[in-house]
Every structure is written in C-alpha cells, then in structure tokens.
Structure 1
C-alpha cells in the first residue's frame, strides 16, 4: 500500500525518516483517508496481521490511523533515498517478506509509489492505493488493486 494523501512539496523523499517536524506528513484528507481504509478492512472483516511501514512518518501514521499499529522497516524506504545496491536489496527483501508470509491474517506493507510501481510493474500508484497480492512459488500474483480517494 502507498501511504495516504500528503500535500506534495519539493524534497519530499530526501529528508531523514522519523523526523516528523521536517518531513512531509499526511494532509487532513490523508488522515481521514487512512481511517476510512481501516474502517473498510474492519467492515469487510479482513484479518490484519503485521503492519510494516517505511520509516517515514507519513507511512507510520497511515498504519497507525488505519490499523492501530505500525512497525517501521528500513527496507521499505523509497529507492531514491538509498544507494542503488541498497534499493535492489530492499526490493528483494520486500519480495521475500511477501513470499514467506503465512497464516490466517494478512501482511500489510505501507511504503512509497516507487517501491510499489517497481514491484507490481505499475506506472503510477496513487496515495492510499493498495495492491492485494498472493504468494505463488518464487513470485506472486496480483489479485486486485483498491483505492479509496482522499475526499
């Protein structure tokens, strides 16, 4: 899932993660969007297990508002904020986490558009949009794409 809505500005990806005072944070519409995503999961009785997020506040806040929890994972940082080698390693780790997830609840990963676009080969990933994937051997199938707008 891509984090909920933010008001874009220059330098959005080049700030130190975890420094919420300096980062681009969720807009009021993004906060509501995140809450609605969580409400939709609960209304449809979708079991939520671990909620992993990029260490950027907008991702952590999306997880907390939607699901009541968020565990930052460095490998969910956007590619432009790490070296090319690290970005490749991070992508492999994301895929590995998806492929090794088992259990009765769903793994939620909240990250950035570039991470998701690269993983699912999608050109544009909107804020608050998420992909439902299912592990399949050494890869995964995309089961669906869902988006709640920020209004």
Structure 2
C-alpha cells in the first residue's frame, strides 16, 4: 500500500513537471508567469574598448545595421505572439538600450543589475545573485523583458545565448530559475 501511494505521488509529480516543460512559453510570458532574458541584438566584436564609458555610446560596441533590424524583428515576434506591451528593463550599455527600444514594447527602464560584468568577472557571482533576487521581486501579472549581455544570461542559466536570443524563464522566490523556452531570431 505504501509503495503504491509513493508511485502515485511520483507519477503525479512527473506529470506536473512534464506539463510545465511542455507549456507555451509565450502564454507564460503573457500572464507574467515567465520572464524573457534577451541578449542584445547584433553588435560586432567582443567586450568593449579600453576607453569604455557607459554614458558615452561612441566608446562602446554598438548595434550594426543588422542588429537594428534584428531588434525590430524581435519586437514583431513579440507582437505576433500576443505581447504588444511589456515592462522592459535594460542594461545601461547602448547596445542593450537600443535593442530594448527597437522592440517597440513600451518605455525602457535602465537596470544596472543587467550591466555586463565581462571586464570584471569577480563581480559576476554577487551581481548574478542580486539580479536573481531582484527578478523574484518583480510584480506578477505583466510581461517582463530583460535586455542584457551573454555573461549575465550565462551566469543565471548556464546557457550561452546567441545575439538576439530569447530565454523564457520562471523565477519564483522558492524555486530555482528554470528555462522553459528558447527562441533565436536571426
């Protein structure tokens, strides 16, 4: 009897877990149950120049013409999937701000926790932990898009995303961050 009960419980948990894994990430986003982590659109190169200043776009890697067009295509993809407006947060880097604005989903709010730590990897762990805590505190019920960098997304998910790739994640306070979907936009 005890073994049978354990098997029933295990089966129910497996079905629940499997249903979540097969859920529509766009539907989860529309209800605010998932958050999109978006790596900025195409910006040729790696890292930033030695004279980098966050307040001066001329000192940074910026979106190419392809990147600008890619950001627009990503915004179109959101709208085709029923997300016409979202709460959009972005790294303060110009390539992220420009990607976020190019989505056309609403006002863009700079969020320093989304800033790259590529040049200072020692900041990665504490910044990632602070970002994770901030994400769990976001108010539910509204689509949220976070535009950031490869190192930040990899720090949160262990996934190395392509430029313009979306990762749909759930971020409950008591649960580990879970990737429930990925979409790459060329």
Q: Give the TM-score category using the shorter length.
A: 0.7 to 0.9
Deviation at 1:83, TM superposition (A): 6.6
Match for residue 132 of structure 1 among 162, 168, 183 = 168
After TM superposition, give the deviation of residue 92 of structure 1 in Å: 1.4
CA, structure 1 residues 37+47, in 2 after alignment: closer, same or farther (shift >3 Å)? same
Unaligned runs of 5+ residues in structure 1 are: none
Give 1 or 2: higher helix fraction. Answer: 2
Matches for 1:12-23 after TM superposition, within 5 Å: 12=48, 15-23=52-60
Secondary structure in 2 aligned to 1:6? coil
Structure 1: 4+ residue segments shifted above 3 A? none
Answer yes or no: is the 8 Å Cα contact 1:131–1:142 preserved in 2: yes
Task: Report the number of matched residues.
Answer: 146
Query: After the TM superposition, which residues 1-150 of structure 1 pair with which residues of structure 2 at under 5 Å, given as runs?
Result: 1-8=38-45, 12=48, 15-46=52-83, 48-66=85-103, 67-82=105-120, 84=122, 86-122=123-159, 124-136=160-172, 137-149=174-186
Q: CA deviation at 1:42?
A: 1.0
CA offset digits 1:58-110 (Å, max 9, x no partner)? 000000010343211111111234472x4333211211122222322121111
Q: Which moved more, 1:33-42 or 1:68-77?
A: 68-77
Q: What is the Cα-based RMSD across aligned positions, in Å?
A: 1.9
Scaled by the length of structure 2, the TM-score of the pair is 0.71
Are the equivalent residues in 1 in contact too, given 2:90–2:100 (CA < 8 A)? yes
Whole-Å separation in 1 of the counterparts to 2:96 and 2:49: 12
CA distance in 2, matches of 1:115, 1:83: 10
Q: CA deviation at 1:141?
A: 1.5
Calculate the TM-score normalised by the size of structure 1.
0.86
Q: Larger C-alpha radius of gyration, 1 or 2?
A: 2
Taking the aligned partners of 1:106 and 1:22, their CA distance within structure 2 comes to 32
